[in-house]
Amino acid sequence: MTNIDRRSLMAGVAGLTATTALGGRAFAQSAPTFTPEDGASLRLLRWVPFVTGEEEAWNANTKAFTEATGVEVRIDQESWEDVRPKAAVAANVGSGPDIVMSWFDDPFQYPDKLVDVTDLANAIGEANGGWYDGLRDYAVKDGRFIALPLAAIGNAICYRDSHVKAAGFSEFPSDSAGFLELCKAMNANGTPAGFPHGKAVGDGNNYAHWLLWSQGGKMINEDGTVGIDTAEAREAIEYAKALYQTFIPGTESWLDINNNRAFLAGQVSLTANGVSLYYAAAKDPAMAEIAEDIRTTNLPIGPVGKSVELHQTTSLSIFNHTKYPEAAKAYLQFMYGTDRMNAWIEGASAYCCQALKGFADNPVWTSNPVHAAYAKASESLRPNGYAGPLGYASAGVMADYVLVDMFAEAVIGQSSTDDAIANAARRANRYYR
């Protein structure tokens, strides 16, 4: 047994059984307890943070866990694009990090390589008002939790208010037709828009799925068959082509960082991003004018008649090759404690939307008007496998950027609309056959 003072351990996890005034609920008496193994240490693979406060809060909570338990936790950071392949390699070779902070339905690519955390997930959910359905769907396979939902990284329109007004729009259009006209007018004014058509894990996928869904299209039917070859998908591509003509050149190669850089450099005045874009400007005195001018709003509503947004989702999974599964569960349980989770959500400054309903009243959502567009991300998100089931196939299609590539091929003229759809259908069918 590791030399751990049990009184310290219990003090360290006391937040799990205490109710605070900030939205948390007490764990049920039947909540599981986990005792770290003798000599345990852990390694977490996570994505590179975009908001300093988020990283600081996560690291502070991790330090508190180590102080309470004696279990050292090493945190490795990888770019957003590299987390997925690094995690897949670790799963397949059976070595590497103990825990991964992954994207979307990535856990479904290797479910048999992950520790069942159903007991922990149910206890955490019961204590905190339950999981949001969309995030829960990304973590549950065959009735068991293979991951713990962590957050939705909200995606919203970020724009320069003065540039929108200069283009002749007193209010931001709420519909996709008006949005296209705005982008045309802003481009004519020399203050264009820009959205990623490159292999951007977050922004590229968010944009591509909104393009398709807002026009009424879908990659997958309810019965799990590929359903991309439709009139609605053709309308989505034609709409994407029209928007692309208003963009700054080069968006077909943009990754997640590029639209941030272009916006902050004054090259574009309208894009979709997490709230990190605003805070990158707000913390730089040289960008005070830009920060003051930034506004946020939800993506426009298309012919489908309702808001349909993907939103980046992230979950925590424990690999079954870990030597210390009890320590890993204890770490995750500790991190979801009421005070610690609220501190992390608040530190993220509206970048990470809670996975649990009990944290929805965190004051971060009303502390700044810029945050409002991100407040309902976990509640409103639509899973990427829509309208079919999530699983290995949906994860594979996402990881292979099938939908992102379909739009990119068409807007740059590499493929005709019909050929782009045919290519997407062929590639998707490799996973859904």
Cβ(160)–Cβ(290) under 8 Å?
yes
Q: Which domains does the chain have, with CATH numbers?
A: 6-154+311-380 (3.40.190.10), 156-309+400-432 (3.40.190.10)
Q: Give the Cα separation of 188 and 320 in Å (integer).
A: 55
Cis peptide leading into residue 387 (ω within 30°): yes
- Torsion angle, CA of 41/45/48/50, rounded to 10 degrees? -80
Length of the chain: 433
Say how many C-beta atoms besides its own lie within 10 A of residue 30's C-beta.
Answer: 9
How does DSSP classify residue 366? G
pTM reported for the whole predicted model: 0.89
The span from the first CA to the last CA of the chain, in angstroms, equals 49
Structure tokens at 292: 């003051």
pLDDT tens string, the chain, 433 residues long: the values are 333 333 333 333 433 433 333 333 444 446 799 999 999 999 999 999 999 999 999 999 999 999 999 999 999 999 999 999 999 999 999 999 999 999 999 999 999 999 999 999 999 999 999 999 999 999 999 999 999 999 999 999 999 999 999 999 999 999 999 999 999 999 999 999 999 999 999 999 999 999 999 999 999 999 999 999 999 999 999 999 999 999 999 999 999 999 999 999 999 999 999 999 999 999 999 999 999 999 999 999 999 999 999 999 999 999 999 999 999 999 999 999 999 999 999 999 999 999 999 999 999 999 999 999 999 999 999 999 999 999 999 999 999 999 999 999 999 999 999 999 999 999 999 999 8
Distance CA 391, CA 379 (A): 21
What sign does the dihedral 206-209-215-216 (CA atoms) show?
Answer: negative
Beta-carbon neighbour count of residue 413 at 10 Å? 9
Compute the distance between CA of residue 215 and CA of residue 22 in angstroms, rounded to an integer. 39
Helix (H, G, I), strand (E, B) or coil at 14: helix
Question: What are the structure tokens assigned to 205, written together?
Answer: 């996928």
